[in-house]
């Protein structure tokens, strides 16, 4: 073999297996779901072409809108809960406002390591009649008959789910902010302090501008994280009561694997892919505009 | 390295910071502590005193949960899937990273973009078609049918990290080895792999954690209990022993403890890995 073809051969050996596995498991199914999304198919016989019928039906289905709204709420709790809170916690540690910052960091990040299934079951126990939360409220209020009923309410059942998501993932955002805050050169901060800058000025003129890219990255993370929130909600509420806590992933799951509507389920998958790619592209575009302004 | 805060901080700010920090930490840890000590209480004791510490600590829940919930098999399966998938991800990611970082082919930028696209595609959006495809080729409900998707979904972020890291390894090392007549694959084994140790550690830890806690893929792609993993098994077990909190807590701790121990050992790398992995732009 010539050196040139040897190089090409090596490249193929190095890169080929990854590309193959990735294409077969991720890209090929996406193509399959695109094809199936315009069919009606129960898994037996041949899929029947129905054009955009699945999408038309989906856009008339109230459960679709409930799922979409819940996905939106999960993004919102990340953007307006986890991201600001994670930033504040990271900032306290970064600016040494508390001692033993490392200890707090290790503890707050801990839930990330636990499976969503365990987290969901644990919090169901906490909110149960014989549960930690219920017992504490009974002790505080002196009302031995108190029960946590929010999870039976169609309107508010999603609230405990959102709280658990906040509980589980705030540490992740804290870690991301902290590791990026620590990249800001100390000399910049010292110079600002020597020049008599106030804490607010430091934050507004040094910290926030340096964090713009990271802020948008965490926003992207919030969006993609929301669309993957399957295991936690499945184990915690299974979408109940009556689909009021469904997210798109659960909506897809029930239609595909409980009702055996592979075509319809594929159409939902396509909507999930389009939504995540669309939202993330928009976020990135906005990020670019901001970066140009600050840079 | 210890460093004091720069400038003077008002006591009020300090107090607020402490209150917020302590409150959030307690909120984070209390449920886990409650889960841990409740697992040593029999169900009857939990019913009588939900918050109290165990008066007669017992391992009875663990013994029964291990037996009834088939935890031994589930645990073994979790170790198998996590270990094998993680090892394959590391090898494939570093070799691909080497190809992407050091071979200047025009197709590289396309292939790199192609794999990075995977960061935008969630597991949920391919579950249904993947199940159909695996059923057609008789991979559904087999161990291999679980491992292959685990590897595929671990690859994008791992390839991203490996490529970025290997780009930083100086070309001169590789070039002098080529002049000495070394083949590319031997360079991979004797230079790239050993020099990539830090990024290998990061990829290993991230993949290990993701695979250990993975739920949707194995839940959909398998149905036989003997090849399922802890998260799926624990979810079923918790449903089956709905009325016995003691057993449930024991099962939850069995599923959680290995990762918490792992975390306490590798916290630094794990945090760094998450921060880097999240910043894939």
Asked whether the predicted pLDDT for residue A115 surpasses 80, the reply is yes
Same domain assignment for residues B218 and B242 = yes
pLDDT band at B281 (very low <50, low <70, confident <90, very high): very low
Q: Give the pLDDT of residue A251.
A: 94
**Do B41 and B174 lie in a common domain?**
no
Tell me the mean pLDDT in the region A249-278: 91
10 Å CB burial of residue B134 (0-12, 13-18, 19+) is buried
Cβ–Cβ below 8 Å for B231 and A123: no
B14 burial (CB, 10 Å; 0-12 / 13-18 / 19+) is middle
In a domain, B2, yes or no: no
Q: Is A135 on the interface with B (CB under 8 A)?
A: yes
Inter-chain contact B128–A7, Cβ cutoff 8 Å?
Answer: no
pLDDT at residue B82, as a whole number: 96
Contacts of A18 (CB under 8 A, 6+ apart): B92, B93, B95, B96, B115, B155, B159
Asked, for residue B143, whether it belongs to a domain, the answer is yes
Do residues B85 and B221 both lie within one domain? yes
Residues in B touching A248 (Cβ below 8 Å): 124
pLDDT of residue A287: 83
pLDDT tens across B8-41, in order? Answer: 677 888 899 999 999 999 999 999 999 999 999 9
Instruction: Find the CB nearest A14 among B96, B125, B264.
Output: B96
* Interface residue A11 vs chain B (CB under 8 A): yes
Contacts of B260 in chain A (CB under 8 A): 110, 113-114
Work out the number of other CB atoms within 10 angstroms of the CB of residue B55.
9
Q: Do B32 and B69 share a structural domain?
A: no
Domain boundary residue, one of B25, B44, B60? B60
Are B98 and B173 found together in one domain? yes
**Which chain A residues are within 8 Å of B126, Cβ to Cβ?**
25-26, 29-30, 33, 269
pLDDT-derived band at A70, boundaries 50, 70, 90: very high
Residues of A in contact with B231 (CB under 8 A): 115-118, 231
- The shortest CB-CB distance from B133 to any of A28, A221, A252 is to A28
B151 and B37 together in one domain? no
Q: Residue A196 has what pLDDT? A: 83
CA A219 from chain center: how many Å?
9
Which of B23, B45, B60 represents a domain boundary (last residue)?
B60
B164-192 tens-digit pLDDT: 999 988 888 888 888 888 888 888 988 89
Report the b/e string of A45-60 with b at 16+ CB within 10 A.
eebeebeebbbeebee
Q: Using CA atoms, how far apart are residues A220 and A216, in angstroms rounded to an integer?
A: 6
Range of the domain at B17: 11-60
Q: Are B34 and B173 contained in the same domain?
A: no
pLDDT band for B3, please (50, 70, 90 cuts): very low
Class of residue A195 by CB neighbours under 10 A (exposed 0-12, middle 13-18, buried 19+):
exposed
Beta-carbon contacts of B100 under 8 Å, excluding residues fewer than 6 positions away, are A15, B108, B111, B112, B159, B163, B166
Is B4 among the domain residues?
no
Going by pLDDT thresholds of 50, 70 and 90, the confidence category of residue B65 is very high
Which residues does chain A have within 8 Å of residue B248's beta carbon, measured at their own beta carbons?
121, 125
pLDDT value of position B91: 95
Q: For the residues A255-274, what does the mean pLDDT come to? A: 92
Per-residue model confidence (pLDDT) at position A295: 58
Q: Which residues does residue A40 pair with via DSSP β-bridges, in sequence order? A: A48
Q: Which residues of A touch B275 (CB under 8 A)?
A: 175-176, 178-180
What are chain A's domains? 39-113+158-294 (1.10.3720.10)
CA distance A16 to B208: 23
How confident is the model over B51-75, as a mean pLDDT?
A: 92
Q: Does residue B3 lie within any of the structural domains?
A: no
Looking at the fold, whether B29 and B143 belong to one and the same domain comes out as no
Which residues in chain B are contacts of A221 at CB distance < 8 A? Answer: 278
- On average, the pLDDT of chain A sits at 89
Please judge whether B28 and A167 are an interchain contact, meaning their C-beta atoms are less than 8 angstroms apart: yes
Question: Is the same domain home to B112 and B250?
Answer: yes
Would you tell me how many other CB atoms lie within 10 Å of the CB of residue B42? Answer: 17
- Residues 182 to 241 of B: which have CB under 8 A from any A CB? 183-185, 188, 209, 212-213, 215-216, 219-220, 230-232, 234-235, 238
Q: Is residue B245 part of a domain?
A: yes
CB-based contact (8 Å) between A118 and chain B? yes
The radius of gyration of chain A from alpha carbons, rounded to an integer in Å, stands at: 24
My answer on whether B186 and B229 are in the same domain is yes
B81: domain CATH number? Answer: 1.10.3720.10
CA distances from A8 to A15, B35, B105 (A): 11, 56, 9
Give a yes or no: residue B224 inside a domain: yes
Model confidence over A240-252: pLDDT tens digits?
888 999 999 999 9
Local confidence band at B1 (pLDDT 50, 70, 90 cut-offs): very low
Overall average pLDDT of the A70-75 stretch: 92
- Nearest residue on chain B to A217, judged by CA atoms? B279
B33 and B129 together in one domain:
no
Which residues in B lie closer than 8 A to residue A42 (C-beta atoms)? none
Residue B66 sits at the chain A interface (C-beta within 8 Å): no
- Please report the pLDDT score of residue A197 as a whole number: 82
Report chain A residues whose CB lies below 8 A from the CB of B149: 25
Question: A95, A98, A86, A96: which is closest to A202 by C-alpha?
Answer: A95
Number of domains chain B contains: 2
Claim to verify: residue B112 and residue B198 sit in the same structural domain? yes
**Distance, in angstroms, between A251 CA and closest chain B CA?**
11
Distance CA B196, CA B165 (A): 7
- Is B28 within 8 Å of A110 when comparing Cβ atoms? yes
**Is it the case that residue B158 has pLDDT exceeding 60?**
yes
**Structural domain includes residue B53:** yes
Give, for A40, the enclosing helix (H) or strand (E): strand A39-40
Q: Is the pLDDT of residue A36 over 80?
A: yes
**Predicted local confidence at residue A189, as pLDDT:** 84
Other beta carbons within 10 angstroms of residue A133's beta carbon come to 18
**CB contact (8 A) between residue B21 and residue A179:** no
Report the pLDDT value the prediction gives residue B247, as an integer from 0 to 100.
Answer: 93
Q: What is the pLDDT of residues B256-274, one digit of tens each?
A: 998 898 888 888 888 888 8
Least reliable range by pLDDT among A4-18, A207-221, B153-167: A207-221
> What would you measure as the largest C-alpha separation in chain B, in angstroms?
77
Q: How far apart are CA A200 and CA A177, in angstroms?
A: 18
pLDDT digits (tens, 9 = 90+) for A81-103: 999 999 999 999 998 888 888 89
The helix (H) or strand (E) run that includes residue A39 is strand A39-40
Quote the mean pLDDT of chain B. 89
pLDDT for the residue B7: 58
The contacts of residue B229 (CB under 8 Å, 6+ apart) are B74, B77, B78, B81, B214, B218
pLDDT of A228 strictly over 80: no
A218 touches chain B (CB under 8 A): yes
pLDDT score for A39? 94
Establish if A283 touches chain B: CB-CB under 8 angstroms: no
Residue B147 lies in a domain: yes
Q: Is the pLDDT of residue A193 over 90?
A: no
Of A18, A36, A116, the CB nearest to B159: A18
Share of chain B above pLDDT 90, in %: 55
């Amino acid at each position: 073999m010539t050196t040139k073809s040897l190089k090409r051969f090596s490249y193929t050996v190095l890169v080929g297996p990854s590309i193959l596995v990735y294409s077969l498991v991720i890209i090929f199914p996406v193509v399959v779901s695109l094809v199936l999304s315009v069919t009606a198919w129960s898994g037996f016989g041949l899929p029947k072409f129905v054009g955009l019928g699945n999408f038309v039906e989906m856009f008339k289905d109230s459960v679709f809108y409930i799922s979409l709204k819940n996905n939106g709420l999960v993004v919102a709790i990340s953007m307006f809960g986890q991201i600001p809170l994670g930033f504040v916690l990271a900032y306290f540690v970064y600016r040494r406002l508390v001692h033993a910052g490392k200890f707090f960091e290790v503890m707050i990040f801990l839930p990330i390591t636990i499976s969503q299934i365990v987290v969901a079951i644990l919090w169901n126990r906490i909110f149960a009649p014989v549960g930690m939360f219920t017992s504490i409220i009974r002790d505080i209020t002196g009302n031995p008959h108190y029960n946590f009923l929010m999870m039976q309410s169609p309107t508010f059942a999603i609230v405990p789910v959102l709280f658990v998501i906040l509980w589980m993932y705030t540490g992740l955002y804290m870690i991301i902010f902290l590791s990026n805050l620590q990249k800001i050169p100390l000399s910049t901060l010292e110079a600002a302090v020597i020049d008599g800058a106030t804490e607010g000025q430091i934050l507004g003129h040094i910290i926030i501008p340096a964090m713009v890219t990271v802020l948008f990255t965490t926003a992207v993370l919030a969006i993609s994280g929301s669309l993957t929130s399957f295991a936690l909600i499945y184990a915690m509420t299974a979408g109940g009561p009556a689909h009021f806590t469904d997210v798109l992933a659960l909506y897809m799951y029930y239609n595909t694997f409980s009702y055996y509507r592979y075509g319809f389920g594929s159409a939902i998958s396509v909507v999930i892919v389009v939504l995540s790619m669309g939202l993330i592209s928009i976020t990135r575009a906005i990020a670019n505009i901001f970066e140009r302004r600050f840079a | 390295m210890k460093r004091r805060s720069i400038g003077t901080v008002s006591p009020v700010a300090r107090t607020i910071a402490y209150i917020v920090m302590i409150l959030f930490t307690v909120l984070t840890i209390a449920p886990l502590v409650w889960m841990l000590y409740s697992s040593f209480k029999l169900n009857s004791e939990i019913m009588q005193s939900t918050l109290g510490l165990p008066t007669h600590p017992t391992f009875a829940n663990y013994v029964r949960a291990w037996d009834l919930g088939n935890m031994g098999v589930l645990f073994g399966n979790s170790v198998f899937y996590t270990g094998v998938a993680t090892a394959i991800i590391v090898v494939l990611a570093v070799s691909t990273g080497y190809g992407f970082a050091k071979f200047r082919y025009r197709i590289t930028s396309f292939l790199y973009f192609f794999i990075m696209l995977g960061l935008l595609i969630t597991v949920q959006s391919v579950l249904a078609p993947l199940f159909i495809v695996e059923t057609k080729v008789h991979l559904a409900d087999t161990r291999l049918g679980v491992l292959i998707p685990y590897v595929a979904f671990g690859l994008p972020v791992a390839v991203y990290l490996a490529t970025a890291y290997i780009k930083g390894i100086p070309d001169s090392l590789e070039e002098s080895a080529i002049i000495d007549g070394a083949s590319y694959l031997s360079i991979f084994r004797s230079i790239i792999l050993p020099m990539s140790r830090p990024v290998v550690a990061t990829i290993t830890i991230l993949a290990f954690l993701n695979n250990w806690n993975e739920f949707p893929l194995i839940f959909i792609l398998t149905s036989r209990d003997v090849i399922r993993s802890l998260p799926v098994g624990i979810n079923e077990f918790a449903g089956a022993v709905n009325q016995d909190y003691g057993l449930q807590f024991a099962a939850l701790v069995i599923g959680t403890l290995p990762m918490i121990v792992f975390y306490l050992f590798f916290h630094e790398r794990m945090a760094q890995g998450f921060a880097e992995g999240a910043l894939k732009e």
